[in-house]
Every structure is written in structure tokens, then in C-alpha cells.
Structure 1
Amino acid sequence: MLEVRGIGMIDVKYMYGVKSVATSSVIDLVVELVKTERQNELDRLGLDFLKYPIFGRSINKIQIPIKEGGSAASLIETAVGFYLSKRDGLNVIAEMEKRRLEEDE
């Protein structure tokens, strides 16, 4: 069961199937949605993750600017993909620099 504000209680297993339910999981990332008015304060390149302290440990955090009424689902999915690729060693800035140097040759 899951409470969705404004909707109420939903049965996740019934709505999305048994594969959508886990008995436990490790949370590696916090995605914070911030109002677009604050977007000038945010890291645009994603060089370093912010930290979110919880239960005596620190979890990586990404802040995403979003306007009211905006669709957050695809932005969150992209943030997770970015986090996973960076965790696996992909450095987009270094890759861009490498491509630029190759083009200059």
C-alpha cells in the first residue's frame, strides 16, 4: 500500500503487478524538485553530487528545477539514468572535452 497525496491509498501490487513490489531496497539517490525561480543556485553541469544526510549516513542528491504543473516523471527518470552512468564511471564533461580535442585535430 502507498499513500499518494490528493488521491489516497493505492495498492501498488494490484495496480502495477507483483514485480513492482520489493520486500526491501537500498536507496542510493535523493531527487529534490526545486522551483524554477531557484535554478540559478543549482549546479548545471552535475560535476559533484550534493549530499543528503539521513539515518547516520549520507546519500547522493540531485536537484532538478521544475515549474508548477510541469511533468516530473521524465526528469526524474533522466536524473536516475545520469546518476547510474556517473556511478559506473562515465564522465560526460571529460567525454565532451575529448570529442572537442578530436575535432580540433
Structure 2
Amino acid sequence: MSDFSVDTDALAQLAKDLQGCADDLDHGLKALHDAGATGLGFDFLDSSCRHFQSKWEYGLKQVRECVKTLHEGLGTVQQNYAQNEQGLADSLKAGTT
């Protein structure tokens, strides 16, 4: 089991990066909402843009929810590994004194 190790700093960085992705998705959703889908000159274009906007918004929301879930879970995993490592270190110290 000595070959197994977890880089808790890397987990924390990954969680931070995922939060950045989530923020970018939020900006994308806002921009999509603000862009509007009317006034393109033809009714069929307006309709197509509304359809695209609806589907794209749905997809971005789904991805955003997945990123949020991953971010939360990764934070929990990182904290648990850090606590376990600290607990093990404390136990080893107590055993040697």
C-alpha cells in the first residue's frame, strides 16, 4: 500500500479550476440570455435562434450542474484525505513519544 499516495494540493487546485469553469459557464449563460434571438430580419431565423438558444442554454445548465457536483465532491475528498493524513501523522507521533 506504500505505492498509493494522494496529492491533496493537486486536488485543491483541481477544485479551484473547476470553480473557474463553473464561473465561465455562468458568464456564458448570462451572455446567451442577454443576446436575445429576435430582429434578425426573418421570422424563420428568429425562430431558429430561439430554438438554438433554448437547447444551448439547457446544455450549459446541465454541464454547469455537473461541474458544481464535481467541485463539491472533490472538495470533500480533498478535505477527507487531508484529515486522514493529519490523523495518521498525529497517531504516529503519539506512538513514538
**TM-score normalised according to structure 2 size:** 0.28
Q: Choose between structure 1 and 2 for higher RCO, CA contacts under 8 A separated by at least 6 residues.
A: 2
- Say which structure is richer in strand: 1
